[in-house]
Amino acid sequence: MTINLAQYLEHNTDAHMAVLVSAIAEVSQAISAAVHKGALGGVLGSAGSENVQGETQKKLDIIANDMILEALAATGVVAGMASEELDDCSPVPGHSDRPFLVLFDPLDGSSNIDVNVSIGTIFSILPNPDVGEITNESFLQPGTEQLAAGYVVYGPQTSLVLTFGKGVVAFTLDREAGEYIQTSESMEIPDDTKEFAINMSNQRHWYEPVQRYISELLEGKTGARGKDFNMRWIASMVADVHRVLTRGGIFMYPKDLRDPNKPGKLRLMYEANPMSMLVEQAGGKSFDATQRILDIQPTDLHQRCAVMLGSANEVQRVSGYHTS
């Protein structure tokens, strides 16, 4: 039997959460339309500005960010939002008592927009601590506190992947019908894999545990692992993790020696936490180089961290190299 997103939400979450996720799904359809129109819609190219991380913003970064902020504020259930593209959080004026806070990366992998490679929207839903006005500190909750997490990947098809902490489900956008249809009841990551994703151009900068691990993979059948591995790297986290959730693998973006004081490149709150929740709910593991990512206590809204996630046995092995 075909199940659409509205039917799934009706039977698997409460009314407030259903309203919120439905709003994210609806705005993602508008973003998907803009992405797929591409140059014909005049949305490609740089916006001529930088975000809080000093990264050049694309026009679609700003368009998607504004669309999501507006959609979330209108739900009636969100007290505040935080975006990778904004310096500080964006409270909903006069509504600090609403139940949810939402963090999001409006367009992950946006450097790939102009070259027609899959990009996506990542979101993390937290409880509102309800201790007064919404500030940046309201969002500084470990990943274990997430009520839900997910992403939308804009590729050959538009897919919504979602967890409420009880497994991972996937939906595909039916453009003609204008709705998401469930296409996977339970995404599961196999414990073992022969695929890895890492930016090999940074190899000379890696710390020894990562050097050791990747060297073993590259040695293939003749090395310590006794089997061949394939490398996949899209340079869009949402697309790389979608592949891991679909067929297994390990995704790695480790810290490196270029800036020893920098804990990593990816953002804990907007990327690492929601993706780690999804991966763990699908049977995988997630690790930053010292601990489970979901256990990290954030101290800053735009905190970065190292990320190693995916098939459990591979993440366990590389984490063991870091801790031995």
- Residue ranges at the known binding site for substrate: 108-111, 199, 265
Tokens of 52: 């809080």
Amino acid sitting at position 14: D
Distance CA 293, CA 268 (A): 8
Tokens of 34: 């803009």
Number of H helices, E strands in the chain: 7, 17
Question: Tokens 């190693």 identify what position?
Answer: 308
- The binding site comprises 84, 105, 107-111, 199, 265, 271
In degrees, to the nearest 5, what angle opens at C-alpha 11 toward C-alphas 5 and 16? 80
Residue 54 burial by CB count (10 A; 0-12/13-18/19+): exposed, middle or buried? exposed
The answer to whether 301 and 139 are in contact (CB under 8 A) is: yes
Task: Give the residue from 100, 167, 109 showing the smallest Cα distance to 134.
Answer: 100
Query: Would you say how long the chain is, in residues?
Result: 324
Question: Tokens 């409420």 identify what position?
Answer: 164
Q: Please tell me what DSSP assigns to residue 258.
A: T
| Alpha carbon of residue 71 to chain centroid | 19
Strand partners, 256: 206
Tokens of 266: 């990816």
- The binding site for Mg(2+) comprises 84, 105, 107-108, 271
Task: Give the residue from 78, 83, 79 showing the smallest Cα distance to 63.
Answer: 83
The maximal CA–CA distance of the chain, rounded, in angstroms, is: 64
